[in-house]
Structure 1
Amino acid sequence: MTQASPPIGDLLAALHALPGVSVLVVGDAMVDRYVYGEVDRISPEAPVPVLRAGRETAVLGGAGNVVRNLAALGAAVRFVAAVGDDPAGEELQRLLAAEPRVSADLAIEHGRITTLKVRYVAGGQQLLRADRETAAPLAAAAADRLTQAALAGVAACSVVMLSDYGKGVLRPELLAAILQAAREAGRPVVVDPKGGDFGRYRGATLVTPNRRELAEASGMPVDGDDAIVAAARAILAATGIEALLVTRSQDGASLITADAVSHLPAEARDVWDVSGAGDTVAAVAAMVLGTGRGLETAARLANAAAGIVVGKAGTATVEPRELEALLRRADLLAGGDKIAHVDDAARIAAAWRADGLTVGFTNGCFDLLHPGHVSLLAAARSRCDRLIVGLNSDASTRRLKGETRPIQTETARALVLASMGSVDMVVVFDEDTPLALIEALRPDLLVKGADYSVDQVIGADLVRSWGGGVFLAPLSEGHSTTRLVRGMRG
């Protein structure tokens, strides 16, 4: 059975519910360091490039990259991990301290080498990666401390995320204890796996292997949709895992349960760097499950987030506005480049003004576009160089017009508006009024229909405060969305 895709409105609602989800992350923490430079000659000592090193950066890696992704999307994160008492361990602790939404409970083991991955980059290409690490299981004292911290965190979280890089933290005994505690507390568990024994994750809600890891764990071919489903279901039957979300690089991802399959196409426009994409998938899926939503919604949002992060260099994160913009574009066949998130729209509007162009703004639900709307938009566009339309979201329209509205989804309404020559940009907003949107966009001209007076126009005082004006456009008589809806319903 193939699962139907959740409506775009459901995905957006899930995205908006992510901030504040509490996530317990247990796993292998690392430091990812990048050394950037230039190469203009080959070494006379050996046939290797000579890197003239320049800028260096360091970010949280491994399970720490999961933490970064969670925090970037607004989660409250409790991170349980182990480090050594070495410079890399100290650097990791400094990086964690800089994350305001993260509380860390680290077991520090004397003599342990904290995993450090150093990547040397020139011309946008990675030349070499050098690793230092200890992959042995933790000593008894550190293991006991970590276990106590992890079990204490289960009841206090919405969802548990296990990030396994095979560096000695997630021992079988600890995995079994966390999975049992989560089951008793009713918490979903997401696992980013390592190694060929997925039986270690018995009872997990969702495990997120890539294609190579699936082949290793199942011992079966994975060269196509049917083969991937067969391999995944063999693992599900043997382990009691509820679902697998198999990431497939340029082929997208596949969500597989015992009785349903969803093959999700890749969302990436450009692939720059796939490092860390698995961390993003696991983090987003965990957060969605932490809101109480289902596997299909979790898989769709996670796949979309992966499409964004692979377009960035290094182990990167995804911002909510990027994910929202991608979701709003997803169902659009034309005019999609005109539909923008408020942050992007504000930046573009500022650039228009810097070029000497006047920016106009109008807003509404635009549920069933009729000649009155067309006339209003044409009149508005005639008074400015660029016209931005603020569009009430589905939720906002329901609050304003009642539970039977809108007739068309916000995606459909945005598409129709964006296809019009008189409209230069569409921004969907969730509030009941466009006041915050107007403040962000700072238009030169505010446009409403002539059935309003200037003192009734929301944002009029604000626009006039920075030297803008208000235009009341003449109405085309006899046209009303409410009248159309009443006529449709008899």
Structure 2
Amino acid sequence: MNAPAPLLVVGDALLDHDLSGRADRLAPDAPVPVVHSARRVTRPGGAALAACFAAQDGREVTLVTALGDGEAGRTVRLLLRGLVRIVELPLAGELSCKTRVLAQGVPVLRLDDGEGRASGTTDEALAAVAAAGAILVADYGRGAVDVLRDALVRAAARVPLVWDPHPRGGSPVRGTRLVTPSAAEARGFAAHTPAGPGTPPGPSGTPAVTKTGAGAHVRRSADDARALIRAWGVTSVAVTLGAEGALLSHGGDPLLVSAPQSVEGDACGAGDRFAATAAGLLADGALPETAVQEAVQAATRYVEDGGAAGLRLDAAPALPDAGTGVAEADTAPDAFALATRVREEGGTVVAAGGCFDLLHAGHVALLQAARRIGDCLVVCVNSDDSVRRRKGGSRPLVPADDRVRVLLALGCVDAVAVFDEDTPERLLEELRPHIWAKGGDYALAQLPEARLVRSWGGEVVLLPYLDGRSTTRLAERAALGPGPATGDRRAARRR
């Protein structure tokens, strides 16, 4: 069986937050529900969510989007780490964030902030579109699609292009293979086609009668799909109908694809799941009918599995349980996801670094002290090559995998990240801890990373170091073997 074809996703990434709790009373000062015991979940949104779905299908996915340098953009990068290759466009302003407040799983409030827009394109982004074998466009009206529109016009003439439109976005480019609006979106777009507002014309071009009664929304969606195919110059439109499935039209009699079963739940993200599945299957060479049938099934399973609340990203594992402190190396928490979540919850991220070759009491005391000043501790560890360059060809004594495993066994260590450079600046730039802790045997002048940490408002803290503890001394003593006191053994060796 052939591997799934690669997919390029172009569009506006968002950052989504859910605050999910319970509401069993109204506030005394206003008739609004009081949501308590809320749990916060953060996930990629918009085009970034669609890219995640495609990657979870086993595809090689590249996302062309604008993220910017703000906290929201950094969070999206970390959530996509290891799943999706990102080609960035410049962003003017702050990345858009959406926060939903849910009570008993039902949204009661939504807050939007950040109105950043893609402000231009890059040679890398243009090359990605030109080289793509299949493209999914997720247009949320924040500029990423606008700046690449000419390139997408050219791409639509040669490769399968699926367009997932949204009310704030523009119309698909001519030649798009499949457009995937919801019923409400199709109705809104059809009202603004050249035929004018109201009921779009029927297949013959004459005004269609107003649809009422059983199945009226299906008939309205069929009319809307035909109107959009004519107005946009696209090959087909699949109108998603929620629990009823989807309606696929090529301009004539539509195909109604029913959902495999009726499910209730949070449908947030189901449209992205539908579009990502359909685009991937068209990339594999499937017919639109097959792609839509499989996409309906995928979206139904997504809602049945909990929707947004059930979404799991391999690159963003859950935080470890408080107090466990022990993890196997292959199931260890991701340091970047951990730091992001602690930061979002208002906590303090502490990082400490070193080789930690032959872990000794001085190391443990330092790490314990570092953990006490924050809400999580991430240990930055030199790779084997980095230790070798710093300490000489005989080091490390303990390989990196084993050093990581030993550190994770300490109750004070929440996560470990390995870096290959001589100093951890690149790692710190991505991790962005609030506090960078080092042993008191370092002076600030010796820390090239001190200025970097302060550049984002972080602080460098020196912690007392236990005298007489040294990996080098331990190695020397181990090499001498058992016997009398160290000084006596050295004298005996000289004799």
TM-based fold match above 0.5: yes
SS of aligned partner of 1:180: helix
Residue 46 of structure 2 corresponds to residue 72 of structure 1: no
1:150 to 122, 125, 128: 125
Shift of 1:207: 0.3
Q: Distance in 1 between matches of 2:311 and 2:297?
A: 10
Secondary structure of 2:125's partner?
helix
Cα distance in 2 between the residues matched to 1:130 and 1:224: 30
Matched, 1:201 2:178: no
- Bigger CA drift: 38-47 or 59-68? 38-47
1:37-88: CA deviation from partner (whole Å, max 9, x where unpaired): 3334432222222222443221111111101110111111000101232211
Rg larger in 1 or in 2? 2
| Corresponding residue for residue 174 of structure 1 | 148
- Give 1:26's aligned residue: 10
Counterpart selection for 1:129 from 107, 110, 113:
110
Give the distance between the partners of 2:264 and 2:150, measured in 1 at CA: 37
Given the superposition, is the C-alpha separation of residues 176 and 156 from structure 1 closer, same or farther in structure 2, using an over 3 Å criterion?
Answer: closer
Change in Cα spacing, 1:175 to 1:169, as seen in structure 2 (3 Å) is: same
Deviations 1:106-149 (A, max 9, x none): 22435x121111122232222222111216x433xxx122xx33
Deviation at 1:158, TM superposition (A): 2.8
Pair 1:284-2:277 in alignment: yes
Query: Counterpart of 1:104?
Result: 86
Question: Are the structure 2 counterparts of residues 249 and 243 from structure 1 closer, same or farther at C-alpha, using a change threshold of 3 Å?
Answer: same
> Which residue identity does 2:178 align to in structure 1?
L
Kindly report which structure 2 residues correspond to 1:329-478, keeping only aligned pairs within 5 A, or say none. none
Task: State whether residues 273 and 313 of structure 1, in contact with CA within 8 Å, keep that contact through their aligned partners in structure 2.
Answer: yes
Q: Which amino acid aligns with 1:49?
A: P
Distance 1:67 1:229 in 2: 29
CA distance in 1, matches of 2:69, 2:269: 25
Q: Is the 8 A contact 1:26 1:150 kept in 2?
A: no
Unaligned runs of 5+ in 2: 192-197, 200-210, 313-495
Please tell me the residue identity of whatever aligns with 2:121.
D
Deviation at 1:318, TM superposition (A): 8.5
Q: How does 1:210-249 map to 2 (within 5 A)?
A: 210-219=182-191, 220-221=198-199, 223-249=216-242
Match in the other structure for 1:162: 137
Take 2:142 and 2:306, find their aligned partners in 1: how far apart are those partners?
25
Find the residue that maps to 1:74 and give its secondary structure. Answer: coil
Check conservation: 1:276, 1:316, Cα contact below 8 A. Answer: no
CA–CA separation in structure 2 for the residues paired with 1:316 and 1:179: 36
Q: Distance in 1 between matches of 2:59 and 2:96?
A: 25
Q: Which residue of 2 is the match for residue 252 of structure 1?
A: 245
CA distance in 1, matches of 2:168, 2:233: 16
Identify which of 252, 261, 266 aligns with 2:254: 261
Letter in 2 for 1:44: P
Q: Which amino acid aligns with 2:190?
A: S
TM-score normalised by structure 1 residue count: 0.55
C-alpha displacement of 1:226: 3.6
Supply the distance in 2 between the matched residues of 1:194 and 1:309 (Cα, whole angstroms): 20
CA gap of 1:101–1:87, structure 2 versus 1, over 3 A, is closer
Residue 163 of structure 1: how far off its partner (Å): 0.3
Q: Tell me, yes or no, if the aligned pair for 1:211 and 1:247 is still in contact at 8 Å.
A: yes
Other structure's SS at 2:304 match: coil
| Count of matched residue positions in the alignment of Structure 1 and Structure 2 | 291
Give me the TM-score of the superposition, normalised by structure 2.
0.55
Contact kept? 2:90, 2:118, Cα under 8 Å: no
Query: What's the counterpart of residue 482 of structure 1?
Result: none
Provide the rounded CA distance (Å) in 1 between the counterparts of 2:78 and 2:126.
Answer: 25
Q: Which one-letter code corresponds to 1:35 in the other structure?
A: L
% identity of equivalent residues: 33
Does residue 280 of structure 2 align to residue 298 of structure 1?
no
Paired with 1:236 and 1:253, the residues of 2 have a C-alpha distance of 16
- Which deviates more from structure 2 when the two are superposed, residues 156-165 or residues 188-197? 188-197
Match of 1:85 in 2: 69
Secondary structure class of the residue paired with 1:209: coil
Paired residues of 1:33 and 1:117 also in contact (CA < 8 A): yes
Cα 1:199/1:118, change in 2 over 3 Å: closer
**Other-structure match for 1:45:** 29
- Counterpart residue number, 1:378: none
Partner of 1:113: 94
Q: Secondary structure at the match of 2:118?
A: coil
Match of 2:19 among 8, 17, 35: 35
CA distance change for structure 1 residues 312 and 76 in 2, over 3 Å: closer, same or farther? same
1:201 maps to a residue whose letter is: V
Shift of the 224–37 alpha-carbon distance from structure 1 to 2, 3 Å rule, reads closer
**Aligned 8 A contact 1:268 1:306 in 2:** no
Structure 1 alignment gaps of length 5 or more:
1-15, 320-490
**Could you tell me how far 1:229 is from its partner in structure 2?**
2.3
Counterpart secondary structure, 1:151: helix
Distance 1:167 1:270 in 2: 32
Counterparts of 1:311 and 1:116, CA distance in 2: 25
SS in structure 2 opposite 1:258? coil
